[in-house]
Structure 1
């Protein structure tokens, strides 16, 4: 729809530059171009220019002036979709969402197929939980841009949110079969995962599992496939398959607490004694003496071979390891002997690590910990101070330093560990 109050070519070009300046956040330049139009007596009351000037002023924090110009523009051109749209943007910036929606609807009376206004309206409708209105707006966008991915997904989402899962699934199926060009890109992968989520939310776990297995080669997020299939096996009470999935996931990430909880569920362990017995399988290797000895032999062999050949094995022709491999072997050995309460050997290896890389804060923290475990809090604190001096902004080191003086003279030292502005006094 053409503007209700069109500008001549010269002024129209300036108006387009105002729009570009707004889009690129060049607000001061936008005000200059608006001034050039409004300084002409013929166009001093041009509604759309006044509205855009008001919108630009709002972005500069001059809210009162912004409202004055936008309302003035609207009074001069009540049939302009631009003026109504701008007024809606102003209301939205003040979180007056219901008023903004009214403005967008007024704008659409004069330009029903304006894509940008429809998009802005749909965003506010979903924010205000007007799901029926959101569905209608997404349908209009879908009809206007039937080849765009966002149109299909937004339309499907509107039915998903309304709980009409079958309609949402059928829309996604139609898009996937008729519109998708590539089947190996990440967006296609995420679309399949979204469709799978809709199937699961509809309670069709068997169908969702089959869908996941059918398209597993096209889904790039392999971890999601594993985790989701494990959930479905549990929902379907196929506990053996679920157990196998979560055991594989624990091999991948043994520190994920949720995997242990799901594995307990898959094993159908209810009795507390059974749960304790289950966790015995995963207890620390250091609790078994002969396994701890095996670890010690391995780490000492690694240290010898890395120092001599730069490899983990005794064969010099093996793939050379980076220089940091020896550093982290020293680091692990120091903690190993600290755990065994062999302080002399622990200090020997942590000193070797510090000689290798004297700029690594973690080494000084470990040395302080070794002294603390050996019963020497003064030396422990001194080494933590060394670590803190290397990076005074490190919150972890600061907190360790703040705690350590409590072992000796808290009144004198702890208050001075964390400087003012570094998170408050201890």
Structure 2
């Protein structure tokens, strides 16, 4: 905080205020408060003291009183840059980003000599996505502090976010030219990231020729070879230089032969996507020989070969049988994408059944159990629950200590609609391996689906940090932001209170006995309790998403200092879609339905009260 310039013969209030500002900066809030209170006692209209008192009250925990002093101060002297700055600090502290940005900008516009305000204003403008003003703020701060590369990068990012691509590239190029002769070993990573970010901007502008030229020019300075190769291959494809691109995609496959995207992009470069199936099949057979331990070159042909193609059954047989022989638990999950085609599904079913019959005489325990495991999942997918249940029961008789079998058994029982029994089976699986966090979480979920909330919380608490006085891990679940547990418990509480409402509705209204009245009162209390718990859990998820949004504030400066502009841009894009994530949408739907029920009940009660009043007021 910078105090305004004062005349030599300043009054005592201004001297006290300047001293209070120094104490505030050194976090001596109580001493600062005494000084400003002395000022206000002598001059109740001293706006600067009123504003500072509001900020101090907030820091000292008197949050209810803080805002009124800020409001009073800005109403008295809205053109005082110190008052505006203090108001900005207050609103930033309470996470009211638009108001904070408004008052910090007012402080600058009203002549504040403190140019560091520009940095704080830029962070707030980034938070509220005010990119138009962000560009001007970053440019002004860069002119004030041009000696730090982070400020140049931040300015380029602001220009990029405004789609002023040429200006962003020019800004990055200018600072590169300045510091290139002075680079040290510690600057290598930062230089590499900034070169790639410059390339990222040119690519987004659609100038692929220039992007490729810059990439090749900066090759020696780029240490991230993976990004370099991916960018270069992409530009070559977009510029029609497919042969060169295919060579780079082969290099990328050598680095990571399990990356499915590289195979797809290699086909794009080679132009095989539109060629006959036989041509594509030969390509993948060759790739499979190069990378015999990789899954994609064996699986991808199954996605494009028609079910009636002579090679489909052969390739599917090789793929499925090799996995079943090795006892790969994820065989069904791997092959499941093909089930969207019903004809392919039938071929795979035939392959597995024949394989199972042929292998049965050998009594190989590995093949037997994993084949039954596959068939159980297969028939579950087809919703043939009886057959699926028979296969999984047979597998359990064969290997009663295999956890994966119990998981599928529980899923089948769940599809039968018996959530109670499904949760018991899942708990049996958990007891086979008490150190497995995954099966513990699955058991928790099934217990919640069975409306056994207390048991579920006790189960998940085995893997939470318990305080000495904690009954269970519920507090830790909130601290760790375990949203799936919170929303599942909210939905369980909702189902529980709906059940109580149904019981209340079934009560005979003509029974005046004390027992009936007591039962009715108990049901009403339970409805209120569980409805409140449901609302509490739903709001806990929403609060977590607010924290996710607020937490990005620190990254507006951190990513500039750590030279991660590409990741920063991707983070902003992710944050912009934060409230469209499935779990948030699910939370909003659940919360809305509960509030809508409350509203309808209130409306019915109002109508009933109005009807009763009419009856009472009408003459007998």
TM-score of the two chains, using structure 2 as the length reference: 0.46
Task: Give the drift of 1:92.
Answer: 5.1
Cα pair 1:37 1:43 within 8 Å, conserved: no
Distance 2:49 2:23 in 1: 11
Give 3-state SS (helix, strand or coil) of 1:178's partner. helix
Give CA-to-partner distance per residue, 1:358-394, whole Å, 9 cap, x none: xxxxxxxxxxxxx986862533259954553234xx1
Distance 1:57 1:10 in 2: 17
Map 1:146-157; keep pairs closer than 5 Å: 146-157=146-157
Of the candidates 435, 452, 465, which is equivalent to residue 390 of structure 1?
Answer: 435
- Indicate the structure whose relative CO is greater, using CA pairs within 8 Å and at least 6 residues apart: 2
Residue 224 of structure 2 corresponds to: 221
Map 1:241-320; keep pairs closer than 5 Å: 241-271=244-274, 273=277, 274-280=279-285, 281=288, 282-283=297-298, 287=318
Map 1:145-184; keep pairs closer than 5 Å: 145-180=145-180, 181-182=182-183, 184=185
Distance 1:71 1:234 in 2: 59
Cα pair 1:15 1:49 within 8 Å, conserved: no
Of the candidates 230, 233, 237, which is equivalent to residue 233 of structure 2?
Answer: 230
Give CA-to-partner distance per residue, 1:90-130, whole Å, 9 cap, x none: 44566765544442232113434423322233334445554
Of the candidates 387, 400, 420, which is equivalent to residue 456 of structure 2?
Answer: 420
* Change in 2 beyond 3 A, CA 1:50/1:376: farther
Give 3-state SS (helix, strand or coil) of 1:217's partner. helix
Q: Does residue 380 in structure 1 map to residue 380 in structure 2?
A: no
Task: Give the drift of 1:345.
Answer: 11
Task: Give the drift of 1:193.
Answer: 1.0
Residue 135 of structure 1 corresponds to: 135
* Change in 2 beyond 3 A, CA 1:387/1:160: same
Residue 211 of structure 1 corresponds to: 214
Q: Does residue 16 in structure 1 map to residue 5 in structure 2?
A: no
Paired residue total: 344
Cα pair 1:200 1:208 within 8 Å, conserved: yes
Please list every run of 5 or more consecutive structure 2 residues that lacks an aligned counterpart in the other structure. Answer: 289-296, 300-314, 327-361, 370-392, 407-427, 461-484, 493-620
Give 3-state SS (helix, strand or coil) of 2:257's partner. coil
Give CA-to-partner distance per residue, 1:212-247, whole Å, 9 cap, x none: 222222222221112111211111121122222222
Distance 2:266 2:251 in 1: 10
* Change in 2 beyond 3 A, CA 1:223/1:20: farther
Task: Give the drift of 1:78.
Answer: 4.8
Task: Give the drift of 1:72.
Answer: 3.4
**Larger deviation: 261-270 or 91-100?**
91-100
Residue 554 of structure 2 corresponds to: none
Give 3-state SS (helix, strand or coil) of 2:433's partner. helix
Give CA-to-partner distance per residue, 1:141-177, whole Å, 9 cap, x none: 1221122213322333333333332332222211111
Distance 1:222 1:111 in 2: 48
Distance 2:443 2:247 in 1: 41
Distance 1:86 1:41 in 2: 17
Please list every run of 5 or more consecutive structure 1 residues that lacks an aligned counterpart in the other structure. Answer: 22-28, 296-339, 348-370, 404-413
Cα pair 1:196 1:211 within 8 Å, conserved: yes
Residue 34 of structure 1 corresponds to: 32
Give 3-state SS (helix, strand or coil) of 1:270's partner. coil
**Larger deviation: 131-140 or 228-237?**
131-140
Distance 1:112 1:39 in 2: 24
Q: Which has the higher helix share?
A: 2
Residue 382 of structure 2 corresponds to: none
Cα pair 2:20 2:33 within 8 Å, conserved: no
Distance 2:261 2:249 in 1: 10
* Change in 2 beyond 3 A, CA 1:377/1:91: same
Task: Give the drift of 1:192.
Answer: 0.9
Give 3-state SS (helix, strand or coil) of 2:168's partner. helix
Cα pair 2:159 2:168 within 8 Å, conserved: yes
Distance 1:177 1:217 in 2: 15
